[in-house]
Amino acid sequence: MDIERTCLEILLRQVYFEWVAPGSSAGEDDYRGLTKKRFLRLARGYLRYATEDENEQMYNWLQVKLKEENGIFTFIRQMSERFLQLSEEGICYRAEEKQFFHWKELVTGLGLELFTMSFLAGRSLCEELSEKQEADCICMPFPKLKHSELGSLLGNDGEGLAENHFHLKGSFPVFLLNWSCLMNHIGDPNDFLHGFQEYQEGELVFREEDRGRKGLYVSVIQAAAYRICLFECYEKIPRKERLEISDGREYDESDLRRIQIQIDSYRGLTEDSFSEKGRVACPDYALYGIWEICRFRDEMPVAGEKYFLYRCFRAVYSGIFGDREKNLFYRYLLIALRFRSEMVQTNRKRGFANFLTYQDRKEDIIDFYKEDYEKYVMRLTACSLQKHQNLASMELRISPKPRAEDTLRRIRFYDENILEGFEKEDDRAKGLSRCFYVLHFPKKREEKIRELEPRDAVLRREMDGFLYEQMELIRMEKNHYGRGGGDPRVRGYDTCAGEIGCRPEVFALFYRRIQQFAGENQVDWIHWTYHVGEDYLDLVDGLRAVDEVVRFCELPEGSRLGHGMALGIEPGSYYCMRQNRVLLPAQDLLDNIAWTLGFCRENGIVVEETLKKDLEKEFRRLWGMIYQGEAEEPGEKYRWVDTYSVKTETEVKRTTGEETGFFRAWREAAVTRSEMPWDEYYDAWKLRGDSPRLYLESLREMENSADGGSDLRIPRALAGCESDLREAARGAREKENCRWLYLRYHYDVPARERGYRTEIFTFTETYIRLIRRMQGELREKLTAKRIGIECNPSSNYQIGPFERYEEHPMFCMYGKNLNDVPASRMSVSINTDDMGIFQTSLEMEYMTMYMALQKCKTEDGHKRYSREEIIRWLADVKRMGREQSFIKCERLPRG
């Protein structure tokens, strides 16, 4: 299977469409194969592990395969028939357990629709299918999973699955919807070109030939022309009405208007054909053959492209297409897959930053037609996925608008589109009741340091604005519910996006204040989750972030953490991948060391004496460098107080009118010490959930105090602000040095600048063993607090620091029924995250974990777990997922 997958990857993702001869010429690259020189050159760059002789053997094998009738198209069909079958329910997966992950990688790289449509085309020539059967198969968002052991678990027992981590705008078929839109609007006066210029093909190996390669935008124009030509061929449009394709000339921007006129005429023809039954806007002219059946279906916006692929494959297999059309179809697929690699994560890079590149592009094309495609997105996600899966609840995560009324107006728009997707009144009620919304706020890195402003000042102000709007939103929902309206639609809050460079402390006040407001107003339907422990520069940093979320945000019982991979990643494997060395900012390293020592002390974890001394020594070095300005060379020192006052006094007087006495008090009260004990620093870290603004105001009080303010005592500014200060940090707040250090952490500009310097830190085996114990302790704490983890297998595998699904962190988080796995008892659930980007479904995620456990082996090569143990484990996970769902809440009395 590895050989077949590799060959298809090379033929469909490494070949440039310009190399494929438009006509039929022997000895050239076309749908029947590549020249030996070309293949070996591509294989050399793609297969780093293979020798030249092995590549040559692969070429010889492939040549025989492609000599079969229809070349690459038969190859695609044969691969699809190994994994798919046709039943009364439509296209279904075969339970090919040994090859499951090879198939998963294949469709991730090349797209599921390529294989489902080639399979359907082949079957339609062997057995007669009605138009409705064809349309039903084409409109399936993914094949059904027919598995004797998993059938009951996946909802056939009457208990549906809970989808607890579902980003609405990342869960529609990203490539299909954007590509279909582009193929139908390529000549519209939109600035598509600007977006294409920003794309970078990270999945391709750049070679010498890249210099002469056409840009992506020009390539897409060719694809739009090829699509029309192939459509006209299989629909048997009269030749005099067809778009001419010349073998000697490629299309460019000067042809866009002519191409768009042809597209619009076919799209209008489709709409007019059935206008007597009510005109519906047709998003894709390729729907022509199934428009009457599909025009009211949820999947209609992407069915056109799938139907186009189906008709092309059928025309290939039935002989309607000649060599010229087959080569045009091959060219079309090469361009489409090149574009797909820019919309869907297909490369092998890890980390959230790589994923973010794709996530930010998911609406690049459809955003030009926002009004229509907003409706399509809702129908493709909240409606279609409910109908094709057995779901008990569906948590739709969306970004809030700046104003509460605008957020609720957008939610009403979404709800209306959900209701339109169900015909029967009972189905409409159930469909809407299964869905609810969680508002997520994106983390953002600090762009620059600002004088007299705390860390992340811009994002903090933004969250302050959202705070009062969300209080108003909760109030509006409560009033609506109390007057006999429907159930509250917003059930919780989340933070999303990349963690690196944005600590949980930034969102702590928002979380605590909303909790306080909800409690005061007897609102019980608001719940909490937080993306954390997914992406980090060091495993200790990820564990600290988890602790910070729980501490600073004060997550209540029943809350959840999104991803949380740091809790279950095997430390030995993690650091082995990095040669036991990590790179991270000095401030983060300082914090991590202090947190390690403090966390271990608080939880009774013994730190070996040698390791403790090493950590304390490194702590002192970093403290001196960051907060005392100690350079690497002896004797080069400067005090923060003097440097800070000189840099900022003039600026502050000019912009705020503050008197120099403010800085005089600052200088006189500053505690400049050659050393800072790590335990005192750790206590100061506990204040990071407090509002930094109050500490700056307390400094101003010093200047106005009767004695001139020589001490930073607990001032009036810190009194009566319970929502801004954590009660749990009261002890640390009473310590003068802790308050001073917290103030410096936020407002000491030179120290902050030095804290951004990159450091290299080496982990010893002793430290790695300690981290393993810290992980276990943190898991126990979360279990005791009944805080669950939202696991997302495909997303975690693509982003996270592990190589195989058998190493997924959730097996460490919950080990009951798995004999040799540490038996943690955390609440975990299986979810999809961004299923449109990761090419998955909730059923497929359960199957993925089932197969991962099947592949686990003992040292002597036997299966580690029985099928019964695996099914019991998955049943537990399903139950916990249902228990985690925010759909549950006590109801307020109406009236």
Cα distance between residue 574 and residue 324, in whole Å: 51
**Cβ neighbours of residue 319 closer than 8 Å, sequence gap 6 or more:** none
Cα radius of gyration (the chain):
30
Helix, strand, coil percent values for the chain (each to nearest 5)? 60, 10, 30
Contact 560, 789 (CB under 8 A): yes
**Residue located via tokens 């949380």:** 564
Cα–Cα distances (Å) from 10 to 3, 37, 38, 44, in that order, read: 11, 14, 11, 11
Instruction: Flag the least confident range among 6-20, 95-109, 183-197.
Output: 183-197
Residue 893 has pLDDT above 90, yes or no: no
- Tokens for 723? 């929502």
Residue 717 has pLDDT above 90, yes or no: no
State which of 253-267, 354-368, 499-513 shows the largest mean pLDDT. Answer: 499-513
pLDDT of the residue at 698: 76
> DSSP code of 154?
I
Confirm if 382 and 415 have CB atoms less than 8 A apart. Answer: no
Buried b (16+ CB within 10 A) or exposed e, 44-77: eebeeeeeeeebeebbeebeebbeeebbbbbbbb
**278: number of Cβ within 10 Å:** 8
User: Pairing state of beta strands 758-762 and 581-585?
Assistant: antiparallel
How far apart are alpha carbons 794 and 796 in whole angstroms? 5
Q: Is the pLDDT of residue 446 over 80?
A: yes
What would the two tokens of residue 52 be?
A: 């030249």
- Measured between alpha carbons, how far apart are the two ends of the chain, in Å? 64
Mean pLDDT over 345-353 rounds to: 77
* 625-646 residue pLDDT tens: 999 886 544 333 333 333 333 2
Query: Comparing 46 with 775, which gets the higher pLDDT?
Result: 775
Q: Which runs of E-coded beta strand occur in 452-509?
A: 490-496
CA distance 745 to 179: 48
Helix (H) or strand (E) holding 803: none
pLDDT at 102 over 60: yes
**In a 10 Å sphere around its CB, with 0-12 CB exposed, 13-18 middle and 19+ buried, how is residue 643 labelled?**
middle
d(CA 336, CA 325): 16
What is each CA distance from 718 to 381, 510, 715, 725, 746, in whole angstroms?
47, 18, 6, 8, 16
Query: Do 404 and 472 form a contact (C-beta atoms < 8 A)?
Result: yes
pLDDT at 656 over 50: no
Mean pLDDT, the chain, rounded, equals 86
For the cut 50, the answer to whether the pLDDT of residue 895 exceeds it is no
Residue 363 confidence class, pLDDT cut points 50, 70, 90: confident
DSSP 246-260: -TT----GGGHHHHH
Largest CA distance in the chain: 97
Q: What is the pLDDT of residues 792-845, one digit of tens each?
A: 999 999 999 999 999 999 999 999 878 655 578 999 999 999 998 888 999 999
Q: What percent of the chain has pLDDT over 70?
A: 86
DSSP annotation of 319 reads T
Q: What residues does each domain of the chain span?
A: 2-366, 587-762
With beta carbons less than 8 A apart as the criterion, state whether 750 and 643 touch. Answer: yes
- Choose among 237, 241, 282: nearest CA to 264: 282
Task: State the Cα–Cα distance between residues 806 and 101, nearest whole angstrom.
Answer: 11
Check whether 533 has a pLDDT greater than 90. yes
Q: Both tokens of residue 497?
A: 């996006």
For residues 359 and 834, what is the distance between their CA atoms, to the nearest angstrom?
9
Return the structure tokens found at 540. 């200790």
The answer to whether 355 touches 830, Cβ cutoff 8 Å, is: no
Inform me whether the pLDDT recorded for 249 exceeds 80: no
Higher pLDDT, 361 or 701: 361
Positive or negative, the CA dihedral 11, 14, 19, 23 is positive
The string over 228-256, giving b where at least 16 C-beta atoms fall within 10 Å of a residue's C-beta and e elsewhere, is: bbbbbbbeeeeeeeebebeeeebbeeebb
Report strand pairing: 490-496 vs 788-791: unpaired
**Residue 889: which pLDDT band, with cuts at 50, 70 and 90?**
low
- At 219, list the tokens: 């390539």
Cβ atoms of 642 and 670 closer than 8 Å: no
Confidence of residue 700 (pLDDT cuts 50, 70, 90): low
Q: What is the 3-state secondary structure (H, E, C) of 159-221?
A: CCEEEEEEEHHHCCCHHHHHHHHHHHHCCCCCCHHHHHHHCCCCCCCCCHHHHHCCCHHHHHH
Out of 133-147, 649-663, 726-740, 769-783, pick the least confident.
649-663
Q: How confident is the model at residue 483 (pLDDT cuts 50, 70, 90)?
A: confident
If pLDDT is split at 50, 70 and 90, which confidence band does 193 have? low
